[in-house]
Each structure stands twice: as structure tokens, then as C-alpha cells.
Chains A and B, each alone.
Chain A
Amino acid sequence: MIFQALAFYLFALVAVGSAVMVISSRNPVHAVLFLILTFFNAAALFILMGAEFLGMILVIVYVGAVAVMFLFVVMMLDINFAELRQGFLRYLPIGAVVGLVLLAELLVVLGGWTFAPDASASVQSPAPGLEQVTNTRALGLLIYTHYLFLFQGAGIILLIAMIGAIVLTLRRREGARRQDIAAQVARRPADSVEVRKVPSGRGV
């Protein structure tokens, strides 16, 4: 129990600390790296709660895809982050007030929140408890059997999105250098190497 509590505070502290670093670090690349650290710690928190599937997905999707895309964007676009951050201190009080109001509202809502008494009775297909089956296994058992139709449908939707991205953005540019494997393989030394006889003492 004590180990769990310690682990929780460790991950939670690192997560909050690195989240603060995301918005306060000067170098945007560092900010994205701190974001990745935040994701990792959040994933660890999920695992601590027994939701190992969510933890893994968080790492795969957010670290593997989203954060890497952020890195690309940060490196490819020439955004002056120092300029964007001008007036940060000036607007800090307003931001803090808005944040506090949101926090207060959240507390009010969550404080008065209870499950409807008959909600658990009206569930048509209740999920088995954690001690019976791990959640990755439970999800797998459902997604590939009961929800096969939806799973395949979602796959088709992703395929359509991919076709769309290609149709709407891919252009063949003049002068772009593409790899032509056949041409590479067919290349002979005679085409690219020139043997010259250099008279001694003259240089090339």
C-alpha cells in the first residue's frame, strides 16, 4: 500500500512538474520533450489504477504519434515562440482567475455528483470485475467478437481518411528528387566514374 502511495506521488509530482515546464520552457523543442514526459507519467498513473490498456494506448498514441507530430511541426515551422509569449506575465492574473473559476465550478459539479440509484441496474451488459479478467483481455474479447462490425467499420473510416489526405494534398512537383530503385541498381561504374590520367607534377 505504502509503495503504491509513494509511486503515485512520484508520478503525479513529475507529471505536474513537467506540465509546468511545457508552458514555461523557452525552447519549444524542450517543451515538446517535457510534454512527452508528462504523457509517460500519466500513463504510469493509469497503470497504477489498473487501467493498463489506457496506459499503453496513451504511450503509443500520444507519445508515438501526437508528440512526434508536434516535434515535426515545431521544427518545420518557423514560429517565434518568444514573441508569442510576450505579455505572458501581463495576462497571467486574468488567466489565473479564469483557471480558478473553472476549478471552483468543477469542484461544485463533482462535489454534488452522484450516480443515479437505478443506473447500475439498467445496464444491459455489465462489465466483469477487474479480478476476473484484465481490461486488455476484456476489451480484446469484446472488440474482436461482439463489436467486430464496429471495429471493421472504424477501420474503413480510417482508410477513407487516408485516401482523403492523399487525394487532397499529394502533388507531383517538378524537380523533386525521388528514389528510383531500378535506376540505382542498373547503374554501372562506367556511368559515374571517370578515370583520368593525371600527369605528374601538374595536379588535376
Chain B
Amino acid sequence: MPTAEFPNLFPALPEIFLLVAAMALLMFGVFRKDDEAGPARVRCSRIVARLCILALLCALILVVTMNGSDRVTTFNGMFVVDRFAVYFKVLILISSALSILIAQDYLEVHRVARFEFPVLVVLASVGMMLMVSANDLMALYLGLEMQSLSLYIIASFQRDDQRSVEAGLKYFVLSALASGMLLYGSSLIYGFTGTTSFDAMAGALAAAPGEAVSLGALIGIVFILAGLAFKISAVPFHMWTPDVYEGAPTPVTAFFAVAPKLAAIALLLRVMMEPFGALTVQWQQVIVFISVASMALGAYAAIGQSNIKRLMAYSSIGHVGYALIGLAVGNEAGVRGVLIYMAIYLFMNIGAFTCILSMRRRGQMVVGINDLAGVSKSNPMLALALAIFMFSLAGIPPLAGFFGKLYIFLAAVQAGYFTLAIIGVLTSVVGAFYYIRIVKVMYFDEAEEVLDRRMDRPTALVMAATGILIAIFFIIPDPLLSQAQAAAQSLFGG
């Protein structure tokens, strides 16, 4: 009778805590008496949302305090915790908590405030944390599906709104296709290396440096890349992004634009650097193509948009392109650049979405860029905040967005990828046009009818906090830089 050792649960404690909390809150919500869209339901959803934020913060504390500097694996090497995972988990937890915080008011206004929403966001974050910690193809897939399944649901959360349902369905169908590609790639990799574990895979693929790499494994890597590129909405797998971003409820779009991207980028970095690190020359060209195409599409396709949510979708495609430069460079400096970039991207995007959430006219949400006309007079704080975020997204110094791009381009130039860096700079110049157009509309256009002044307090707080962080990042950049450095080092076994 073979006996198995009980796995060490300690490294996975934050995830386990969050799962238990999510299930407890689910029970709490179910057993509380509620009425359809009545005050009791809203009150219940408010309590659950607050408790979910609390749970996310507790998990954040757990993640940070349990962070030893060494790499720990558990569950038979399927789950890994290192500085890299911790870095991304912190970012994911922050973005989930902020998303729940800014979502509540929107959900209440649209009469869809239900307690399941924050619980699903928490479950999605657990999925993302598993993705970041995955050290095995099967663990990778499970984390990815846990995340995606929660995302499908919250995308169509406004189920009486046709566009929201359409967004959810579109995301579901296309994402299932991408999962299929990922699985196909995984099966090929498994077939050619005989293992699903990242550590063993790295050994199997690196075993024979002189020999030609087996074609099947290469095709597998390309399929895995395609599946992951879909999740980060990189060109040519970006088609779903504008429609889903436009159709989904705005706070969900804010969540979509940040947390899943963080997790998928983290996964992409780990998969490409750890198991497939020996084949860098092989996959590099694919990443370079994806990166250049995403930057170009993000810059040019956004110019004609009149809906600000669609514009943010194209902007996010472009930003993924910039982040991928760091991966294409494929060294420690490049990965450090991606880490810094994604952290700054998180705060810029959440901030920009708080502004979009505050765009209301007579209590109704509006999303047209021209609706922003005259905001500088009617609501100067909103205009100032949005201007900061837009300048930062465009990458104008001294705002944080500039430094994100700086470290990426610096890594590219140092490693000799001048073409990539030049294309990056050129496309950010083109992209600056549409970001700054929003500022122009706000400050120089006359409005026929101005937006409401009303802003709910949590959204305003998040807006102010992210705005200040973005604006003063250049004074105290050290904490982020040193953390990113340590995280990047841990990925390269340093």
C-alpha cells in the first residue's frame, strides 16, 4: 500500500484563505433574506463587497508576510511561490480590491447589485493567483479556466442588457477557442517532452543543445503562445477586445483591462522563461511580431474611436505590445521592465476607469468621448485626474507611464533591439494623439450639456489615490524598482 505525504499547504495559504472566505461569503449571501432588486438585496451586496475587499486585503498581507526570498514548491511541484509570483499576486489582489470598490456604485445605479459579483471577482483572483504560481501545464490550465469562467459570468452580469450578454457570450466562445489551442499545444509539448511539469520540461528541452529542436515541441510552444496571446489580447488575437470592453459593465471592463492581463502576462513570462527558456531563439521572433503588431494596431485603430471604452480597449492592446518588448528581449532587464510596466499600467488603467465611471449625465452613464466636452469647467477635479491618466498612458514625463516605457525601451536598447525600441517610440507618439485629444476635448471644447458633478465617494477616493501615485511616482520610484528587480531575478534563478 503506497502512502502519500500530505502536501505542504503553507505556501498556498493566501489562496486557500481566499477560497474559504469566498465560500463563506457565498453562504452568507444565500442565507440572508433578500428581495428582487430591493433594498435588502442592495444592503446584502454592500456588506459582501466590503467583506470581499477585506478578505483580499488579508490575503495581500498573507502573501507579503509569508514571502521568504527563496523559491518554494508544493503539491508535488505543481505550485510554486517565488518573488516573481509574490510580486504579481500583490498587483492582482490590489486590482481586484480596487475593482470591487469602484464597482459597487455602478451596480447599484444599474439595479444589478447582487452579492455574487464581489464573490466572483474574488474567485477570479484566486484563479489568477493559481496562474501566477503554476509550475505545471495542468495547474496552468486550471488556473486559467478558473479565472476565465468567473470572467464570463461577470461580463454578462447585467443580464437584462443585451450588450452585456453579448459581451459575455463573445468572450466565452472565443476564449474557449483559445483554451482549445492552449490545450492542443500542451498536449503536443507533453507528447514531445513526456512531462507536464515546468521543471522537468526545462530539463528535457535543454538536454541537447547541439541537436535541432524537435518540430513538434516547437509547434506546441507556438500553440501555447497563441492561447496566451488571446488572453492578453495581443494582435492577431485581439478581435474580441473592443466588443467585450464596450459591452461589459464598465467596472467589469476596468477589472478586465487590468487583473487578467497581469495574470496572463505573468504566466507568459514564466512559461517562456522557465520551461522554454532554452528555446528563446525559437519563440523570440513570434513575440517580436506580436509585440510590433499590437503596438501598431493599438496606436492606429484607436484614432477613429468615439466611445471611450473602445478606445481603452485599443489602448490596452497597444500597452500589451509595449510590455511584450520586454519579453522579446528575453533577459533579466527586459523582464524587470515588464514588471515595472505592468504595475504602473494597473494604476493608470484603474484610475482612467474611475474617471469613465464618473461620466454621467442626469444619472445615466455616458461613454462618448465628446460627452467629456466642457468637463474642465463643470468638474475640474475629474478633468485634472483624467488628464493625468491620459498623459501618463501616452507616456509623457514626468508621469509614471513614461517610466514604464523608459525601462522597457532601455532594456531593448541595451540588448541591441534597436528596431523594436524605435517602433515602440514611434507608435507611442502616434498613440499620444488620441490620448491628448481627450484632454483637448475636456479643456477646449464647449459643451451643450455638461456632465453631472456627482461622484460616489469610493470612486473619487480611488481616482485621487491613483492620480497622486501616478503623478509623484518619479519622486519615490525605488520601492517598485527594487521589488521588480528582485522578482525578475527570482525568475532567472538568482
Contacts and interface: CB of A to CB of B under 8 A. Distances in A.
Given A124-B200, A145-B4, A150 B153 contact: no
Nearest to A125: B195
Given A149-B75, A150-B139, A161-B149, A167 B157 contact: yes
A7 interface: no
Q: Is the interface of A mostly helix, strand, loop or mixed?
A: helix
Interface stretch (B83-91, B116-124, B324-332): B116-124
B126 interface: yes
A172 B41 CA distance: 13
Interface in A138-160: 141, 144-150, 153-154, 156-157, 159-160
Contact of B153 (A144, A157, A160): A160
Interface string B46-82: 0000000000000000000000000000011011000
Given A149-B139, A167-B153, A156 B123 contact: yes
B2 A141 contact: yes
5 contacts: A149-B7, A150-B78, A153-B139, A160-B123, A168-B159
Nearest to B37: A172
A27 interface: no
B142 interface: yes
A160 B149 contact: yes
A150 B114 contact: no
Which bracket fits the contact residues of A?
Answer: 20 to 34
A147 B145 CA distance: 17
A163 interface: yes
Contacts of A95: none
A145 to B, nearest CB: 3
Interface of B: 2, 4, 7, 12, 19, 23, 26, 36, 75-76, 78-79, 114, 116, 119-120, 123, 126, 130, 138-139, 142-143, 145-146, 149-150, 152-153, 156-157, 159, 191, 193-195, 197, 200, 204
A192 B343 CA distance: 68
Given A149-B75, A156-B123, A163 B193 contact: no
A164 B152 contact: yes
A149 B78 contact: yes
Given A149-B79, A163-B26, A168 B194 contact: no
Given A149-B78, A159-B123, A164-B150, 5 more contacts: A149-B12, A149-B75, A154-B142, A160-B153, A167-B159
A42 to B, nearest CB: 24
A106 interface: no
B221 to A, nearest CB: 17
Nearest to B192: A122
B239 to A, nearest CB: 24
Given A153-B130, A163-B26, A148 B19 contact: no
A167 B142 contact: no
A124 to B, nearest CB: 5
Contact of A122 (B114, B157, B194): B194
A153 B146 contact: yes
Contacts of B193: 122
A146 B139 CA distance: 12
B7 A148 contact: yes
A147 B149 CA distance: 21
